[in-house]
Amino acid sequence: MSTQVRLGIVGIGNMGSCHLDNIVAGKIGRLQVTAICDVVADKLKKHPTIAHFGDAGQMIRSGAIDALLICTPHYDHTTIGVDALAQGLHVLVEKPLSVHKADCARLIAAWDKRPKPSQVFAAMFNQRTDPHYIKLRSMIRGGELGEIRRINWIITDWFRTEAYYASGGWRATWKGEGGGVLTNQCPHNLDLMQWMFGMPTKVRAFAKFGAWHGIETEDAVTAYLDYANGASGVFVTTTGEAPGTNRLEVAAERGKIVIEDGKMTFTRNVTPMSEFSRTTTAAFSRPEVWHIDIPVHGHGGQHNEVLQNFTDAILDGKELIAPAQEGIHSVELGNAMILSSLLERTIDLPMDGAVYEQQLKKLIAESKFEKKTAKAAAASAEDFAKSNKK
C-alpha cells in the first residue's frame, strides 16, 4: 500500500501557486507534487524539478500522479474533472465545483461512474474548517438553538480592485468566468449557508452587474431566501465596498447568535420565545436572557487542512471535510440569485439547471463587453499620461 500521494496540479495561477508552495514546503504530510500543468509555460519555471505539462489530458494519462488538484478558470473544472475521474484519479476541485448547476451534475455523474470505488472526490471549501462555523453547525444540529426563524449574512469584505479584475481576461466575464462575486468569492459563504442551514425553497435576488467595476458580471447582490419551516434569510455581498462587513446573525427559538470580528456571541433565551409568548400574561414582556461569549478562536487550518484531509481520505479512508458532490448546492444558490435578478422574479428550488445553462449561453452569445486586461489598462494609462504632456 502506498504511503504517499502523488499529486498533479493543473492551473498554476494565484491559488494553484499557493497550494504548490505549501505542499513543496512540506506543510501537508504524505502529499508530494509530482507534476504541474499550465497553458502558460512561464508559470512552470519556478519548479524545474517537477514534471511539466502544457495539456491537462497528457498529465492525467502520464502515470506520474495518483490525484489531481484543479485550480483552473471555472469552466474547465467540469471537463478536466470528468476526464480525471474517468481515468481513475482522485480529484480535488477548487471552488466553485462548476460554473452552473448542469455542469455540476455532469461532474457528479462522472464520479458516480468512476472506475475505482475507492476514488476520493473533494472540493476546496476551506472555510468549513473555521471553528466558528463548525460550532454553529454543531449547535444547530444538536438542537441548542431550537427552530431557526431568521438568517442574515452581510458579507461585504470581499473588496476587489480594478487591477484585480484586469489581471486576467477571463475574470468577471460571462464567457471566461461565468459570473462575478457569487461565482468567485462567495461560493465559500453560499456553501456554509447550505452546510449550516440547509437549502431554501425560494430565492428572490437583486444583483447589480458591473456596478462598481469595469466588468459585465455581478459585483453587488442582495438576496431574500425563504425556507420550508417559514424561516427567512437575507444575504448581502459585494466586491465594491471597503472596509466592508462580515456579520452573520441567526435568530432562533432559544436566542440569537452573532459571528463578527472573530467573536461568537449567544444571547440565549431562558425560555424559548414561542413558549414565552404563549404562556406569559404580560403584554410587553420578553424572555429573560443570558449573554454568552462562546470561546472559539482562530480560523482553523483552511486550505492546508483540506489538503491534508484529502490526503488522509485517500490513504486512510478518513471522512472528507467537503465531499465534492455537496458543491452543487452553493452553485445552485448563486445561479438562482443571478437568474432571479435577470428574470426579475422569484426562483423556486430545486432549480432546473438546464434553464440557467440556457440563460448563461444567451448572456455569452449577446455579450459585446470588451474586457481590459492588465496590459491594456497599463497601455491606456500610458497613452493618457502622454496626451497630458502634449
Does any domain span residue 258? no
The C-alpha cell that represents 89 in the structure block: 484519479
Residue 124 CA, distance from chain mean position: 8
Residues contacting residue 358 through CB under 8 Å, at least 6 positions apart: none
- Structural domain range at position 30: 5-127+302-324
The band of 387, judged by pLDDT with boundaries at 50, 70 and 90, is: very low
Residue 179 lies in a domain: no
pLDDT at position 388 over 60: no
Say if residue 15's pLDDT is above 60.
yes
CATH number of the domain encompassing residue 61: 3.40.50.720
Task: Say how many domains are in the chain.
Answer: 1
Residue-level pLDDT at 380: 39
Residue 26 reports pLDDT greater than 90: yes
Give the per-residue pLDDT at 375: 58
* Residue-wise pLDDT tens digits, 121-163: 999 999 999 999 999 999 999 999 999 999 999 999 999 999 9
Identify the pLDDT of residue 385.
36
Predicted pLDDT at 372: 76
Whether residue 318 lies inside any domain: the answer is yes
Measured between alpha carbons, how far is 304 from 189 in angstroms, rounded to an integer?
A: 19
Q: Is 385 inside a domain boundary?
A: no
* Per-residue exposure over 48-86, b if at least 16 CB sit within 10 Å of its own CB, e if not: eebbbbeebeebbeeebbbbbbbbbbbbbbbbbbbbbbe
Which tens digit of pLDDT belongs to each residue from 37-87? 999 999 999 999 999 999 999 999 999 999 999 999 999 999 999 999 999
Quickly state the pLDDT bin for 112 (edges 50, 70, 90).
very high
Determine, yes or no, domain membership for 156. Answer: no
Question: Which residues are within 8 A (CB) of 218 and not within 5 positions of it... i.e. 6 or more apart?
Answer: 179, 180, 181, 182, 207, 208, 209, 338, 341
Q: What is the pLDDT of residue 164?
A: 95
> Is 298 strand, coil or helix?
coil
d(CA 169, CA 352): 30
pLDDT at position 374 is 65
pLDDT in tens, 309-342: 999 999 999 999 999 999 999 999 999 999 999 9
Is 163 contained in some domain?
no
Asked if 97 contacts 324 with a C-beta cutoff of 8 angstroms, the reply is: yes
Q: What average pLDDT does the segment 166-190 reach?
A: 95
Task: Give the model's pLDDT for residue 285.
Answer: 96
The residue among 343, 324, 273 whose CA lies nearest residue 106 is 324
Q: What is the mean pLDDT of residues 187-196?
A: 98
Of the pLDDT bands very low, low, confident and very high (cuts 50, 70, 90), residue 2 is: confident
Residue 61 included in any domain: yes
In a domain? residue 49: yes
